[in-house]
Structure 1
């Protein structure tokens, strides 16, 4: 069963103009159009030693607890703003194709926390790009810093922390 629908050609053009250099974000290259903001289980960037203690050999309950916190955060986002996804197409594989979801259920199942960098989304109303990250930390790229307080509020409600660029 299909989970995605292409947005209209007109909306494709608008989104491409609204979100320049998406390929750079996916490739983790810095751009001047976006400001980095991490959302994490942790309240600071982990040292190497902390990483070994807090990320290795987790029991199943702790993995599920962390996943459920991110899922709750993602559900807050889905309730409060439009969320789209994108893929790259074209001869060079660098032209974004924007997609909406066929249903709320399809949207929720796509934006499930796996801690494997599986989902990449746009939040057009917030001028933000949102990626699932690794090591219990997800990434926002913001074009408008006024939305940072909204993201911080959602994160705080579920027990996540916002971190500036490392």
Structure 2
């Protein structure tokens, strides 16, 4: 069974309006109207010493627990808000293709870290893009001054995660 289908024109236009500068985060540039927030098992950025201590030679059980926290948060986020997948297409990667999930299970499978597939999801209700990151940290790009930050931080804390400004 297919996990995605193309969105209809009305949804596409709405997403294009809300996420008109989205190509910047995709190209790893920080756009002026978005603020990146890290959702992580760590309280902040790791320095070189901390990275070596917390990321090198991590036991299987510790790694599994960290991934489980991020997965539970991602599943909760997908159940709280509408979500759409997207990717850049075209010769110069200037066109954005928006896809909707065919089921709740498809949405959950897409954001759980089984094979580290680098998911990218749009959450139009809160005008945010949610990306899979590295080193037990995912990135949430919030557009403008966003009133939903407190709710997202509450959800992150509920699963033992931390939310901090990543810019």
Which TM-score applies when normalising by structure 2? 0.94
Q: Distance in 1 between matches of 2:115 and 2:59?
A: 15
Distance 1:15 1:40 in 2: 27
Aligned to 1:88: 88
Q: Secondary structure at the match of 2:86?
A: strand
Question: Contact 1:115/1:136 (CA < 8 Å) preserved in 2?
Answer: no
For 2:24, the equivalent position in structure 1 comes to 24
Please give the alpha-carbon distance, in whole angstroms, between the structure 2 residues aligned to 1:67 and 1:115.
Answer: 11
* Secondary structure at the counterpart of residue 125 of structure 2: helix
Do structure 1's residue 132 and structure 2's residue 112 form an aligned pair?
no
Q: Identify the range of structure 1 (89-98 vs 62-71) with the bigger mean alpha-carbon deviation.
A: 89-98
Contact 2:126 2:146 in 1 (8 A): no
Say which structure is richer in helix: 1
Aligned-partner Cα distance in 2 for 1:97–1:39: 26
Shift of 1:45: 1.1
The CA RMSD over aligned residues, in Å, is: 1.5
TM-score normalised by length of structure 1: 0.94
Q: Which runs of 5+ in 1 are unaligned?
A: none
Q: Which residue of 2 aligns with 1:61?
A: 61
Moved more, 86-95 or 96-105: 86-95
1:53-80 Cα offsets, whole Å, 9 max, x none, are 1011111111110111011101111221
The residue number in structure 2 matching 1:105 is 105
Measured in 2, the distance between the counterparts of 1:26 and 1:62 equals: 30
CA spacing shift, 1:155–1:115, aligned 2, 3 Å:
farther
Instruction: Give the whole-Å Cα distance in 1 for the aligned partners of 2:152 and 2:83.
Output: 14
- Structure 2 unpaired stretches of 5+: none
